[in-house]
Chain A
Amino acid sequence: MSLPVPNVTFYERVEDALANDYQRGAFDRASSRFQALRRNALDALPAAEDIRDRARAIRAHTIGKLDVYLAQFADAVEANGGHVHWAADAETARRIVVDIATAAGATLAVKSKSMVTEEIHLNEALEAAGVRTVESDLGEYIIQLAGETPSHIITPVIHKTKEQCGQILHEKAGVPLTDEPAEMTAAVREKMREVFLSADVGISGANFGVAETGTICLVTNEGNGRMTTTLPRVHVAVMGIERLVPTLADLSVMLQVLARSATGQKITVYTNLVSGPRRPGEPDGPDEMHVVLVDNGRSRVLGTQMAEILYCIRCGACLNACPVYREIGGHAYGSVYPGPVGAVLTPALGGVENWSELPQASSLCGACREVCPVRIDIPRMLLELRHEADGAGQSPAWAGMGLAAFRTAATRPGLFRAAVSLSSAGSRALGRGGWLGKLPPPLSGWTDTRDFPALAEKPFSQQLRERRAEKGKDEDGT
C-alpha cells in the first residue's frame, strides 16, 4: 500500500500543466488521434459490442474467483518449470526481485515496459543492490534518461518534442544529436541491442496471465518484450495479482479489444506467450523463469466497492477519452497510473486520504466508461471515493457546511423558498445587468474564468402560480 505522494500538491501540478502550452497541445493531439484510431478499429470489428460484453464477463468472473485462478496459475507455472513468488507488498516484491538478481550474479538487468514495476519502484532497489537496470522500451528509455515518470500509459514520452527527445538521447546516452525519430530509433536499437546481449536478467511485466496454462502474455510493438524474455538467462515476470484470465481462448477475446482500444491497431506487432523457462532441448530462451505476484493493496481493494477497477486491462482508452486528462496530462495525477483509471486506482491502493483531489478532479462526464473495453464504471467509483472521503471528514469545511445548510433548506420547502428568495436578492444586489463578475470565496474560482448569472427576480414556482391564478381569474371572469 505504498504509493509515494509527490512533494508538489495536486493544484500546483495542475497549474504547471495548464501553463505548459506545448504539453497541452501534445496531449490534445494525442487524445484526438487515439480517439479516432480507436473508433475506426472498433467500427471495423464485427460484433464489437458483444466482444466487449464478453471481455467484461471474463474479467469480472476471474476477479470473482481470483483465489481459485491464482492457485491454478501458480500451479501451472510451476508445472512448466517456473518459480512463483508471492509478494504481499511493494517492499517484499522489490526484495524478491533483488534476491533473484543477486543470486543470479547479475550486474545488468534489462526491462521491458511494466507499470507494476514502476508502482513498486523496483529500479531504484535494483540499482541500490548494484544491478544496473535499463528500460528497453524506447519511450521508457528516454523517460529513464530524463529522470522523469511516464505521462501516458501507452506513449510514455508524449509530453516531449522530438527535439527534446533527441537532446536527452544526446546528452545522457551519447547519441549523435538529431531530431529525426528514424535516426533516434536506429541509434537506440544499437545501444539497446548491446544491453539485451549482455543482460544477466530480463525483467518484464505481464499484460495477462493465463491461469490454465501458466502463461504470461506480453504485447509490444518494438520487440523488447521478446528480447527481454528470450536472451537473458534469467527471466522475471512481475505481475499484479488481478491480471489473470482463465484460458487461452479467453485471452484471445481480450486481445481482440486491447490493442484496438489502446492504439487502434488490430493487434500489436508482437504478442508473446511465455509458458515457463525453456523446455529440454529448446535452443533459446531463459533457463530460469520467475513470476512475482504482487498484491500491494489489490486484495484489500478487492473487498470494497472499488473492486471493479481491478478489471482494468491497462489499455489507456479512458485517458484518451477524458476531457480532464486532455487538459492536465499524466504527470498532474502524481502517480504511475494517470487519467480516469488512476483517479480510482491510486486512491484505492494508496488511501483516499493521501490522494483526496484525484476523485474530485472529474466532472463525471462518463466518457471513460463509454470507451472502456471492459465497461468499468469509473464515475460510480469516483463517487464512492468522494463518499469515503466525506465520511472520513475530508470534505473542505465550507462545502460540508454549505451542503448541510442546503440539505436543511431542501427538506423544508418553506425554508427553501426563503433561501432562494434571499439568494436572489443578494445576487441581484451584487451583480450588474443580471450578471456577477466576482463571486465571494469559496466560490470565487468560478468567476476567475466566467461570469455567474444573478438569480431570477421571480422563481419559476411563483411565476407559474401567478400565471395560473391569472388564467383562473380569466376563466372565472368570462
Chain B
Amino acid sequence: MSDPSPAPGRVQLFVTCMIEAVRPEAGLAVVDVLEALGLTVDYPEDQTCCGQPAFNAGSWDDAAAMARHTLDVLSRSDAPIIIPSGSCGDMVRHHYPRLLEGDPVYGPLAAAVAERAFEFSEFLYDVLGVGREAASPAETTGEKVTNHPSCHLLRGMGVREAPRALLSAAGVELVELPNAEECCGFGGLFAVKMSDISGAMLQRKLDAIEDSGASTVVSCDVSCLIHIAGGLHRRGSAVQTKHIAEVLRP
C-alpha cells in the first residue's frame, strides 16, 4: 500500500451518469466530503457517461466514442479525477487504455487519465490517508451498517480495505455481510438480458443483507445500490441503501 502523498489542492469530479440521473444526493455527499477535506472540487459540466454499458454490450465503437468525449472533458485539467463508482473507475483505469490502444491522440490521453483517476474511497484512503485510525467506541453513531463490496471495485480495481476502514473510522457499527464478495447480480444490461439469473443472484444478496441485521447497506457503486434498493423495495424491506459518501459526510 502506498504512503499517502501530500494532498492535492484541486480535484475533478467525474460523477457518473447513474449518480447524475438517479442518485444525485450521493454526488452532493461526495462533494461535501471532499470539500470538508479542504479540496476544491471542479465539475466539468459537459461530462456524460464513461461508455461502460456500450463496452459491456460489445459495441466498442460506441464505447470508444464516449470514451474519447470523456477523455476530452477530463484532460483539460491535470487535476486528479475522483470517480464515485468502482465500475466506472475500473472502466477508465483498465479498459480505456486497451480500448484506445493505437489511437495516436486518445491512446496517450487514456494512459494519462488512467494514471490520475481514482475511485472515491480509494482516493480518501490511499491518497489522503483518511480512515487510517478507527474511531473510538465512544464515537459510534449506533447505526448498523453493512458494506457490499462491488465486484469492479474489489476485483477490478483491487480496493479491499478502503471502504471498511473509512466506515469504521466514521463511527458506524459495521456488521458483517455474509458472503459479502458475491456479486449482487447487476452486471449492467445483464440484469435485463439475463433477468432470471440476475434476479436469483439478487435474492441471495438480499437474504444475506437481511441476515446481517443491518439497517443500512452501503456500497461504493450506485449501480449495485439501485439494484439492491429495487429488490429491497419490492420485498417491502425497511433497509436503506446509501453510497459511502452519504455515511461519511460530516
Contact = CB atoms under 8 A, between A and B. Distances in A.
A399 B43 contact: no
A459 B20 contact: yes
A362 interface: yes
A413 B45 CA distance: 8
B36 interface: no
A102 B186 CA distance: 54
Interface string B3-45: 0000000000001010111111101100100000000000101
B127 interface: no
B66 A453 contact: no
Interface residues of A, number: 65
Contact-residue bracket for chain B? 35 or more
B130 to A, nearest CB: 22
B65 A407 contact: yes
Contacts of B190: 360-364
Nearest to A465: B45
Interface string B71-108: 00000000000000000000000000000000000000
A190 interface: no
Contacts of B54: 403, 406-407
A226 to B, nearest CB: 39
A360 B194 contact: yes
Contacts of A442: 192
B57 A363 contact: no
Given A407-B62, A410-B66, A324 B201 contact: yes
B109 to A, nearest CB: 16
Contact of B51 (A410, A452, A458): A410
A381 to B, nearest CB: 12
A11 B181 CA distance: 27
Nearest to A400: B59
B199 A450 contact: yes
Contact of B58 (A14, A387, A407): A387
A445 B58 contact: no
B24 A456 contact: yes
Interface in A447-478: 448-453, 455-456, 458-461, 463-465, 467
Interface stretch (A40-48, A202-210, A388-396): A388-396
B48 A411 contact: yes
17 contacts: A11-B196, A324-B201, A328-B197, A363-B187, A364-B151, A383-B55, A387-B60, A404-B59, A406-B62, A410-B17, A413-B48, A445-B193, A449-B198, A450-B230, A456-B25, A465-B45, A467-B28
